[in-house]
């Protein structure tokens, strides 16, 4: 009978060895736990089975001891399995959130069933200083404990050695301490990220190497998740900052796909009479007043190009813009689209037109002054001499000469009148003189007098 029991126990031993190999080489799952439970069930049945009087007392004692060892092995393996399952759950939970507080809370919830924690804090180290990440509030006594371990260099030692330790709590006796202070480094790619300090209700001597291994593993997972969360937050803030710059830029910014469709357009388009959503996904050519100028948007040049482009407004008006066009390329090569930054120069164009008109009028005014100066002065002399000559011709009875002198005087007065009108000119209306040539049109009542 004893041989049978020994044989069964040997098979159980082999089963446990196989289970340990499973734990070392495979992902932990429920099937493995069920397998372990089944083995232990057989062990218990063996222990409670018929031992008959034929078994000697020492043989029964040996059987009970071997069965007890099997039970302890089962309990220890089950504990390890539960810890590994907790690690798996923690890793899965980390994939569901990137909030730093939530990540810290998940870590604490995971290790609390393993270690009786009285109080805990998770800290990040930056520039030789530490700041608390979680929880928001801890007791003053606990903060004093953290500062004490920091000032005495114990936390620095843990970070440099990259391994957790547990020491007696400050109020505990040196020997047979009932509580401990657990310090766990948070390490990412060999660099210190921070640390975890916990006041635990377990004697330091009760901590085994496997406890430290599983705690350090969970802490490393937490550190990695926190770093990812920090990087993601930084990227999000950078993205939002750049998006805010683009959205609130005064100039119009348009990004087109390789097919010429608008994939981004900023809020400045509202100044042109459109809504952003109205144009997203639409062909950019619909915005261009002159299709010939749209070529660079559809086929962007290799180098940045500057050109004027007229846009159609939402109210069918035309906006004059100065555009900077560049192609968007993949890092590995290939065009993915076009970036265009357009500055509205419609007001500038109007001012330029007004300036041209002002300069034109100034030129006319200068011409008028010249006419008044260069024509009126000698004209006055001519008219004075005509007057004298005409009087002498009248006295001499030279009627035909008098008639011609009066015609000359009439035309001189006409020239004087035109010069006067030019002096008071407020508009620069023109009329056609010859093909491609304009001249001023000076109107007076129903008559008009034209001058080159």
3-state SS, the chain, equals: CHHHHHHHHHHHHHHHHHHHHHHHHCCCCHHHHHHHHHHHHHHHHHHHCCCCCCCCHHHHHHHHHHHHHHHHHHHHHHHHHHHHHHHHHHHHHHCCCCCHHHHHHHHHHHHCCCCCEEEEEEEEEECCEEEEEECCCCCHHHHHHHHHHHHCCHHHHHHHHCCCEEEECCCCCCCCCCCEEEEEEEEECCEEEEEEEEEECCCHHHCCHHHHHHHHHHHHHHHHHHHHHHHHHHHHHHHHHHHHHHHHCCCEEEEEECCCEEEEECHHHHHHCCCHHHHCCCEHHHHECCHHHHHHHHCCCCCCEEEEEEEECCCCCEEEEEEEEEEEECCCCCEEEEEEEEEECHHHHHHHHHHHHHHHHHHHHHHHHHHHHHHHHHHHHHHHHHHHHHHHHHHHCCHHHHHHHHHHHHHHHHHHHHHHHHHCCCCCCEEEEECCEEEEEEEECCEEEECC
Per-residue pLDDT in tens (0 to 9) along the chain, 452 residues: 455 555 655 665 565 556 556 555 545 455 555 555 565 565 555 555 544 444 456 666 666 676 677 666 656 665 665 655 566 666 666 667 778 888 888 888 888 888 899 999 999 998 889 999 999 899 999 999 999 999 999 999 999 999 999 999 887 776 677 889 999 999 988 888 999 999 999 988 889 888 888 888 888 888 888 888 888 889 989 989 988 888 888 899 999 998 889 999 999 999 999 999 999 999 998 898 887 777 878 888 888 888 899 999 988 889 999 999 998 888 777 788 899 999 999 888 888 888 888 887 788 778 777 877 788 888 888 888 888 888 888 888 888 888 888 888 898 888 888 777 777 666 666 777 677 677 666 664 434 444 33
C-beta separation of 249 from 266 below 8 A: yes
Backbone angles phi, psi at 222, to 5 degrees: -65, -40
Q: What is the pTM of this model?
A: 0.53
pLDDT at 367: 78
C-beta separation of 274 from 258 below 8 A: no
pLDDT at 60: 62
Fold assignment, 97-239: Beta-Lactamase (3.30.450)
Q: Can you read off the two tokens belonging to residue 183?
A: 């310090």
Contacts for 140 with CB less than 8 Å, ≥ 6 apart: none
CA 7 – CA 293 distance, rounded (Å): 92
User: Domain map of the chain by residue range?
Assistant: 2-93, 97-239, 249-344, 349-450
Q: Which residue has the tokens 């059987």?
A: 63
CA 230 – CA 238 distance, rounded (Å): 12
CA 60 – CA 2 distance, rounded (Å): 9
Q: Could you confirm whether domain 249-344 is CATH 3.30.450.20? A: yes
Contacts for 155 with CB less than 8 Å, ≥ 6 apart: 130, 149, 183, 195, 197
Q: Can you read off the two tokens belonging to residue 252?
A: 């119009």
Backbone angles phi, psi at 366, to 5 degrees: -65, -40
pLDDT at 32: 54
């Amino acid at each position: 009978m004893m041989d049978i029991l020994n044989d069964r126990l040997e098979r159980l031993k082999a089963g446990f060895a196989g289970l340990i190999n499973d734990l070392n080489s495979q992902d932990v799952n429920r099937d493995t736990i069920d397998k372990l439970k089944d083995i232990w069930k057989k062990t218990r049945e063996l222990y409670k089975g018929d031992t008959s009087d034929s078994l000697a007392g020492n043989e029964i004692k040996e059987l009970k001891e071997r069965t007890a060892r099997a039970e302890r092995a089962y309990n220890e393996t089950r504990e390890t399995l539960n810890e590994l399952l907790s690690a798996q759950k923690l890793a899965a939970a980390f994939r569901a959130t990137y909030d730093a507080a939530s990540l810290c809370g998940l870590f604490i919830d995971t290790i609390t069933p393993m270690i009786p924690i009285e109080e805990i804090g998770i800290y990040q180290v930056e520039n030789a200083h530490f700041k608390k990440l979680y929880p928001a509030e801890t007791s003053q006594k606990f903060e004093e404990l953290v500062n004490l371990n920091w000032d005495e260099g114990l936390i620095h030692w843990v970070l440099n050695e990259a391994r957790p330790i547990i020491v007696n709590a400050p109020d505990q006796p040196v020997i047979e301490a009932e509580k401990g202070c657990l310090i766990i480094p948070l390490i990412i790619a060999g660099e210190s990220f921070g640390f975890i300090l916990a006041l635990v209700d377990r004697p330091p001597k009760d901590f085994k190497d496997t406890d430290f291994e599983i705690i350090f593993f969970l802490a490393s997972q937490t550190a990695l998740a926190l770093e990812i969360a920090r990087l993601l937050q930084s990227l999000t803030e950078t993205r939002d900052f750049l998006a805010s710059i683009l959205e609130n830029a005064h100039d119009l910014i348009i990004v087109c796909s390789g097919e010429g469709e608008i994939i981004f357009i900023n809020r400045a388009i509202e100044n042109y009479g459109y809504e952003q959503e109205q144009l997203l996904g639409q062909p950019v050519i619909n915005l261009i007043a002159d299709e010939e100028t749209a070529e660079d948007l559809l086929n962007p040049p290799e180098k940045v190009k500057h050109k004027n482009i007229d846009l159609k407004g939402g109210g069918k008006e035309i906006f004059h813009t100065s555009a900077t066009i560049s192609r968007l390329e993949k890092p590995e090569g290939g065009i993915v689209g076009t970036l265009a930054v357009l500055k509205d120069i419609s007001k500038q164009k109007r001012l330029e037109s007004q300036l041209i008109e002002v300069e034109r009028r100034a030129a006319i005014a200068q011409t008028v002054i010249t006419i008044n100066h260069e024509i009126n002065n000698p004209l006055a002399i001519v008219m004075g001499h005509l007057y004298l000559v005409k009087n002498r011709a009248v006295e001499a009875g030279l009627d035909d000469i008098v008639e011609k002198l009066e015609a000359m005087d009439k035309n001189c007065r006409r020239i004087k009148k035109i010069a006067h009108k030019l002096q008071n000119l407020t508009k620069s209306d023109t009329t056609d003189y010859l093909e491609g040539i304009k001249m001023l049109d000076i109107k007076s009542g129903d008559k008009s007098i034209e001058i080159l």
